[in-house]
Amino acid sequence: MRLIIAEKPSLALAIAEALPGSIKRQEGAINCGDTTVTWCLGHLLEQAAPEAYDPADKQWRLDRLPIVPKQWKLAPRSKARGQLAVIRKLIKQASEVVHAGDPDREGQLLVQEVIEYLKYRGPVQRLLISDLNRPAVSRALAKLRPNAEYQPLFQAAQARSRADWLYGINLTRAWTLTGRQAGHDGVLSVGRVQTPVLGLIVRRDNAIRDFVPHPFYPLWVDLKVDQGQLRAWWIPQEHQPLDDQGRLIDRAPADALASRLPGASGRLAKLDQQEKRQAPPLPYSLSALQVDAARRHGLSAQMVLDICQLLYERHKLITYPRSDCRYLPEEHFSLAQRNLTGACQNDDSLKQWLNGADFSLRSKAWNDKQVGAHHAIAPSGKPADFSQLSATEGQVFRLIVRNVMAQFYRPLRTFEVKAEFNLLDEAFRARGQSILDPGWKPLFTTRDETPPLPPLTQGEACQVLAAGVEERETRPPEPFTDASLIKAMMNIARYVDDPAVRRTLRDTDGLGTEATRAGIIETLVQRGYLVRKQKALRATRLGSALIAALPSAVSTPERTALWEQRLRGIAEQQDDPGAFQHALLDDLRSLLSHSDAVKLRQSLQTAQGEAAAPVKRAGKPKKSYTRRKSTGKSTGKSTVKSKTTSG
């Protein structure tokens, strides 16, 4: 018997349906003639607990650290024992095994570790599938490769798994025991990914706490030009008192200039006009969907993941959701009209979008070269029964359909104008945008972000109708939300200074994966490190204290980049798993030496004091004054409370 072991049930079914012969289901498997297809349920195995190596390590003790297994062991996950038993029985009957994990590092590990754990010694082939359509699966079945070719990929994934265990087990025990000495009764969990995520939030909270606002003074002019009026803003010169964002922080120069401007004449010194075309946003990866669903509907990352799983498994309305890809296989293009028509049958908004689609258009979304282990999330084509969907399920489903539907809309065409006027030897800038063809834009918003300017001609004259100085105030950074934190985890390179590390992080998936990011956020909440305040994610006193007490190397993302460099080298046979672990242990021993009960106690006390401290506030803004041509006199206006972000 040939036994195919898939990573998940949906993949197993797709494989079975592509095999010749009739399908016969049995417990935990599908039989197709002389081939049986079974599946894992994610990872069936996990790294064994420390006490599995030495019973003495069941008790947490500082003098036992670091714990380093001499011979690594795996143990069945508690909820996976039943399926593991099914595979154990089938593999004993198999003359050949086919590894059908996802075509990536973790997919290689997930199935191969089961094969090795069950001590199968026969031939193993590798089946690589990234598209569940039957023709694509059939082609993949005809191109099996020896699994031995992927041994370096397995070694890299195995090295990552063991490194995470060493890092998490030892640092969690060290800081938990240190916490007890400092008076904290509870586990202080430390991890390679979760702790840098917590560090992001703590540093953002600290920036908000320590932020001292200052006023700045933008000066505007209303100008009469040949074919209308517009508003332009003064660009202060470098000799003026400016902050690091180029904003004027002394009102006197603005007031002095404003008093001279009414009635002044000038000319249009620079004019930049160009038509721009913008392609529709690509279909969603999971993280991109989580960002949009959080912004539009206030859904947490975990809620979006849970909803997607229901839409995929229970309702069968979408394709596999835990994808990091925003492209679709080229083969899907011919099926898109049918699938979208089915998806839109029972919803008026979706029908309206469908009626506006032009299925002769082909966007860049269909690109086999960009499709990896999975393709973008897309509707399956099954009609949705919205009476059977919750309100939030309907919202997420419409987003998924919309982003695929947008591929059949024309590009957004705009006419953008940037104008610089010279008045009294000073520069004033204005910008505007006209919509030439809304294309896909109405599917996303009906709001015009930048109003248009009247028609302009290089060198034309202008005259000041009015001028005014506003007093605005800088604002602190915004606290993280589910949307902005997921985006930060996806683009973690932005938060790193070292150029080499930044490059590595740009080439990887950032912090966490599509499947784990939501869980990381929820884990930090459940462990008492984060709390949700309306939409904001804020660090608790405990979370802030832990980051303050840990070495900075533990709470910043650089380690992920350094690990990724080594793991990539292992996968490409340019590095050695043993050397990687040896370097990690040296690093780990150094970090363990920094566990300090006094520092942690002080961090806990400091965090408690800061939580009770009043927030810094700026003084009351002054009034804004407007200069008008008619009188040239100052007229008091109500306080301008608009503010801009400090950067």
Which of 156, 43, 152 lies closest to 564, judged by CA? 156
Amino acid at 18: A
Longest pairwise C-alpha distance within the chain? 98
Contact 125, 543 (CB under 8 A): no
Give Cβ neighbours of residue 525 (< 8 Å, ≥ 6 apart): 531, 532
| Nearest CA among 628, 624, 626 for reference residue 638 | 624
Task: Check residue 424 and give left, alpha or beta (phi > 0: left; psi -120 to 50: alpha).
Answer: left
Measured CA to CA, the distance from residue 327 to residue 337 in angstroms comes to 17
Strands (DSSP E) found in 101-161: 124-126, 145-146
Distance separating alpha carbons of residues 8 and 100, to the nearest angstrom: 9
Q: How far apart are the first and last CA of the chain?
A: 63
User: Residue for token digits 């009034």?
Assistant: 623
Peptide bond into 479 cis (omega under 30): no
CA-based nearest residue to 14, from 3, 23, 27: 23
How many angstroms separate the CA atoms of 413 and 435, rounded?
6
- Taking the C-alpha atoms of residue 200 and residue 423, their distance in angstroms, rounded to an integer, is 45
Q: How many CA atoms lie within 13 A of 416 on its CB side?
A: 12
Decide: 417 and 380 in contact? Cβ < 8 Å.
Answer: no
Angle at CA 638, nearest 5°, toward 637 and 639?
A: 115
Tokens of 453: 């300017």
Q: Which of 320, 327, 409, 495 is catalytic?
A: 320
Dihedral (C-alpha) 78, 84, 86, 91: value to the nearest 10 degrees? Answer: -170
> 320 catalytic, yes or no?
yes
Give me the active site residues, please.
320
